[in-house]
């Protein structure tokens, strides 16, 4: 906090933006406080820009903050008086929290939705999208249990969150015990969702860095709740990793664990499935046949791994399963489709968030050094990049052939590191893999072959691995200590989080994260967007500019 002689690092402006001075001695302390209720928008060298949003403020409310707490933080660190309209906006948005309450009803098959204020009642009356789901009048309505999630999702789109206090089902019991001791922050995370005794707990999202053991939070929940559990993951490799962890960290036998993927569909008391198999259907007009996995079994816990990837079709069935305890796990709540409000209302609010740099300082994840290398292009290639639409120009910049020389030089400079070369375009990766003599994994690589390659990497038989975006998610390569990102999905902060997470498992050495960007191209603009995620997490981001003569000396 500021003493009487200090000028604060924050400038809160009347348009809702919040400016944070990075060179101020209280920068790190202020950033940590601000991240509890505001979203980072821009992060250049000297001034970071944050903004308050309804979702960020309601996440703070779900974590126990009220408008007075937020105003107190802003006043404590602000350089100037807070604009009166900002104080009013914060109070207005947070005043909506808790005004619409969903609870049990004496009518079988129904829940009670109650508006506790005239403003909330007016909101219900004005939201046409929910009218067909409501029975009754005045301030109390009946909602059929199957419409519980739909009503919450529609109301949050209307600007009103619903505090869900309706009962949760226990599911079928399961005798399961842990064979591991969670780290302190993992215990805190589990208890924030399931163990605080508040009426609205039992569902929510935990935000932790890749490599920090989010899986252990899920297993801790499984062992505490002791109920049949469905775990949803992004890919088959992640399914197998979850199964391996369940067998290693609990006393469940293999016959109690099921795999539900394109290759095998076996349902057991603990079943691990992929999002892909759930969203498969014969054609675009058909129903989703595998949604029955949700509906026909007595699940007591749903775990959404990498919840920020939850496919839009799955929201439909998630909306039906609001009486089941649910846990979302992610490294970042950023969704490129803007559906953060659906995650908030259907999976749950953010209950726990541990800054990446905090865990790094405690030794739970590796210390990461992040560098962007601006790579030159030959005059001929630069002329080629000016032809065509913006998408073609971006791809040509991403596939700049000089990047291959830079990759080779970085590998030479890191002879002891286990290295992932990660990219977006398969043709580019095929060339790099051939030049390096390294194995390549893409979406077309069969799952058994992928797992052999991953095993060879984990056991040290190979040191360099070239991977496409299939390795963005849920790949367990604990010895990877360096990543070279040669191309990416435009400005995706979500992807940046996942790729950095591949090298953050704790180890005896620093981790290095290199991003190669073609100078004077659209790649630079998108790289700045991706950089926002790193800066938000407290990482310093160094930029090196290589010229064409330096690269030619490497040939």
> What are the residues whose beta carbons fall under 8 Å from the beta carbon of 188, sequence distance 6 or more?
352
Please list the alpha-helical segments (H only) found in 5-53: 27-34
Both structure tokens of 512: 């290095």
- Cα 229 from Cα 34, distance rounded (Å): 35
Domain identity same for 61 and 131: no
Residue that is last in its domain, among 53, 79, 95: 95
Contact 180, 219 (CB under 8 A): yes
Contact 540, 509 (CB under 8 A): no
Contact 473, 405 (CB under 8 A): no
3-state secondary structure of 44: coil
List of E strands, 243-363? 257-260, 270-274, 301-305, 325-330, 350-353
Domain identity same for 115 and 22: no
Phi, psi of 18 (to 5 degrees): -125, 120
- Asked if residue 329 belongs to a domain, the reply is yes
Domain identity same for 240 and 131: no
- Asked if residue 21 belongs to a domain, the reply is yes
Domain identity same for 117 and 214: no
Q: Quick one: which of 282, 62, 25 has its CA closest to 193?
A: 62
Phi, psi of 9 (to 5 degrees): -85, -10
Contact 301, 204 (CB under 8 A): no
Residue that is last in its domain, among 316, 339, 354: 354
Phi, psi of 343 (to 5 degrees): -60, -45
Domain identity same for 366 and 483: yes
Domain identity same for 380 and 499: yes
Contact 483, 510 (CB under 8 A): no
Handedness of CA 356, 360, 366, 370 (dihedral sign): positive
Q: Is the pTM of this model over 0.85?
A: no
Q: Quick one: which of 401, 182, 218 has its CA closest to 302?
A: 218
pLDDT of the residue at 551: 63
pLDDT of the residue at 473: 61
For residue 149, what are the domain limits?
100-164
pLDDT of the residue at 314: 79
pLDDT of the residue at 540: 67
Domain identity same for 54 and 188: no
- Asked if residue 176 belongs to a domain, the reply is no
Contact 545, 403 (CB under 8 A): no
| Strands, sheet with 419-422, edge to edge from the N-terminal-most edge strand | 440-441, 464-467, 419-422, 482-485, 511-518, 368-375, 541-545
Element (H, E) at 375: strand 368-375
Domain identity same for 297 and 224: yes
* 69: exposed, middle or buried (Cβ count in 10 Å: 0-12, 13-18, 19+): middle
Domain identity same for 365 and 468: yes
* CATH code of the domain in which 110 resides: 3.30.70
pLDDT tens digits for the chain (555 residues)? 555 446 899 999 998 899 999 889 999 889 889 988 988 777 666 888 888 989 889 989 988 899 999 999 999 999 999 999 999 999 999 999 999 999 988 888 899 999 999 999 998 888 888 989 999 877 899 999 888 888 998 999 899 999 988 888 889 999 999 999 999 999 999 999 997 544 457 999 998 887 788 999 999 999 999 999 999 998 887 898 899 999 999 999 999 999 999 888 999 999 999 888 888 888 777 778 888 888 889 999 999 998 877 877 777 778 778 889 999 998 777 666 667 888 888 888 888 888 777 788 788 877 778 888 999 988 888 888 888 788 898 899 899 999 999 999 999 999 989 999 999 899 999 999 999 999 999 888 888 888 899 889 888 899 999 998 876 665 667 678 888 999 887 656 666 667 776 777 766 678 888 989 998 888 887 777 677 667 666 666 788 888 766 665 555
Domain identity same for 519 and 391: yes
Please list the alpha-helical segments (H only) found in 388-502: 390-398, 402-413, 426-436, 447-458, 493-501
Rounded to 10 degrees, the C-alpha dihedral 426/429/431/436 comes to: -160
pLDDT of the residue at 279: 80
Structural domains in the chain (count): 4
- Asked if residue 38 belongs to a domain, the reply is yes
């Amino acid at each position: 906090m500021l003493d009487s002689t200090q000028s604060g690092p924050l400038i809160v402006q009347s348009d809702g933006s919040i400016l944070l001075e990075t060179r101020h001695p209280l920068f790190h302390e202020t950033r940590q406080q601000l991240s509890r209720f505001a979203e980072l928008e821009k992060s250049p060298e000297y001034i970071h820009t944050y903004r308050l949003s309804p979702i960020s403020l309601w996440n703070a409310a779900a974590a126990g903050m009220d408008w007075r707490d937020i105003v107190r933080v802003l006043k404590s660190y602000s350089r100037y008086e807070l604009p009166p309209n900002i104080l009013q906006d914060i109070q207005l948005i947070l005043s909506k929290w808790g005004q619409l309450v969903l609870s049990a009803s004496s009518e079988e098959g129904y829940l009670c939705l109650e508006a506790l204020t005239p403003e909330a009642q007016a909101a219900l009356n004005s939201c046409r999208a929910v009218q067909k789901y409501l029975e009754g009048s005045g301030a109390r309505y009946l909602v059929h249990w199957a419409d519980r999630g739909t009503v919450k999702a529609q109301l949050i789109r209307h600007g009103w969150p619903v505090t869900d206090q309706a009962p949760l089902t226990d599911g079928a019991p399961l005798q399961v015990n842990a064979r591991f001791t969670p780290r302190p922050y993992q215990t805190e995370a589990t208890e924030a969702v399931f163990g605080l005794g508040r009426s609205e707990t039992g569902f929510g999202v935990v935000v932790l860095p890749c490599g920090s053991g989010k899986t252990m939070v899920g297993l801790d929940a499984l062992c505490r709740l002791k109920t049949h559990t469905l775990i949803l993951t992004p890919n088959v490799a992640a399914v197998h990793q979850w199964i391996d962890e369940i067998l290693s960290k609990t006393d469940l036998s293999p016959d109690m664990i099921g795999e539900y993927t394109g290759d095998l569909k076996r349902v057991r008391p603990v079943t691990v499935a992929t999002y892909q198999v759930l969203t498969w259907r014969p054609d675009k007009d058909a129903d989703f046949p595998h949604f029955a996995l949700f509906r026909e079994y007595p699940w007591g816990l749903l775990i959404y791994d990498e919840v920020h990837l939850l496919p839009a079709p799955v929201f439909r069935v998630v909306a039906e399963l609001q009486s089941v305890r649910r846990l979302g796990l992610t490294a970042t709540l950023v969704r490129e489709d803007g559906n953060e409000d659906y995650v908030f209302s259907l999976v749950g609010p953010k209950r726990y968030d541990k800054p990446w740099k905090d865990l790094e300082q405690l030794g739970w994840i590796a210390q990461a050094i992040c560098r962007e290398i601006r790579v030159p292009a030959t005059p001929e290639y630069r002329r080629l990049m000016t032809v065509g639409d913006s998408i073609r120009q971006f791809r040509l910049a991403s596939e700049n052939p000089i990047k291959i020389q830079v990759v080779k030089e970085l590998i030479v400079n890191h002879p002891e590191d286990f290295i992932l070369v990660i990219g977006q375009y398969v043709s580019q990766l095929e060339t790099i893999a051939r030049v390096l003599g390294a194995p390549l994994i893409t979406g077309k690589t069969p799952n058994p072959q992928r797992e052999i390659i991953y095993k060879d990497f984990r056991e040290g038989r190979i040191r360099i691995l070239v991977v496409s975006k299939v390795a963005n998610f849920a790949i367990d390569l604990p010895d990877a200590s360096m990543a070279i990102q040669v191309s990416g999905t435009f400005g995706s902060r979500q992807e940046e989080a996942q790729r950095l997470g591949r090298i953050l498992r704790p180890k005896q050495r620093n981790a290095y994260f290199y991003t190669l960007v073609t100078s004077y191209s659209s790649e630079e603009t998108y790289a700045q967007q991706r950089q926002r995620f790193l800066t938000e997490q407290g990482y310093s981001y160094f930029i090196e500019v290589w010229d064409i003569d330096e690269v030619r000396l490497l040939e």
